[in-house]
Amino acid sequence: MSPTKIAAPVLILSFVWVLSAPALALKPFLGEVRKAFNLGEDEGSCRICHTFDDTKKEKPTEHNVNAFGKDLSRNKTFRSLGELEEVEVLNDKQMAGVRAALLEIARYDSDGDGASNIEELKLGTGPGNPKSTPTADELAKYRNDHPDTTPIAKPAEASGTKKSRKKEDD
């Protein structure tokens, strides 16, 4: 097989992989999540973007990106940053881009549990895990002080249909 014949499938495979799983839990990445949402150093974890079961010795991988991670991976600003999972250190532009993308999806209710992503991050629940959700009381209290954080509908371009993804491949 000629190098050209090998290269094309590899290129396509890696591109599909990037589209389907860009949000690996790298340390600099988690750092940007904390900065974007003003979380403490011990708040937040890989579980913001991944859902996995420690008791089954599962690790955060491209196969368990959750609803929040998927919304982030579909975000235009995020996608414009390229292959972040392959860099150990984010440059200033990438850091700013990650933060901007996170703020753009802050008011989505990625996991559909009725609380926005920022509400969940601030209240210590998982924005990509519908089983992890603030209590009605916690949410009511938080909204009383932060009325501008309630969920908003995702724009059509962020709905992640196969058609829009296909377009990215072209």
Distance CA 149, CA 106 (A): 8
Measured from the CB atom, the residue of 32 and 109 that comes closer to Ca ion is: 109
**Of residues 84 and 105, the one with the C-beta less far from Ca ion:** 105
- Counting contacts by CB under 5 A, is residue 109 touching Ca ion? yes
Residue 163 burial (C-beta neighbours within 10 Å; 0-12, 13-18, 19+) = exposed
Q: Quick one: 81 or 115, whose CB is closer to Ca ion?
A: 115
Report the distance separating Cα 141 and Cα 131, nearest Å: 20
* 71 binds Ca ion per the rule CB under 5 A: no
Q: How far apart are CA 121 and CA 116, in angstroms?
A: 9
Among 47, 113, 121, 139, binds Ca ion (CB under 5 A): 113
Q: How far is the CB of 168 from Ca ion (least distance, A)?
A: 25
Binder of Ca ion out of 37, 111, 129, 139 (CB under 5 A): 111
Q: How far is CA 16 from CA 36, 135, 143, in A?
A: 28, 38, 39
Tokens read off for 77: 């600003």
What is the rounded distance in angstroms from the CA atom of residue 65 to the CA atom of residue 53?
13
Does the footprint of Ca ion cover residue 72 (CB under 5 A)?
Answer: no
Q: State the number of binding residues for Ca ion (CB under 5 A).
A: 4
Which span (42-50, 96-104, 109-117, 140-148) binds Ca ion, by CB under 5 A? 109-117
Considering the complex, state which of residue 26 and residue 115 has its C-beta at the smaller distance from Ca ion. Answer: 115
Q: Cα angle vertex 166, ends 162, 103, to 5°? A: 70
Which residues lie near Ca ion (CB under 5 A)? 109, 111, 113, 115
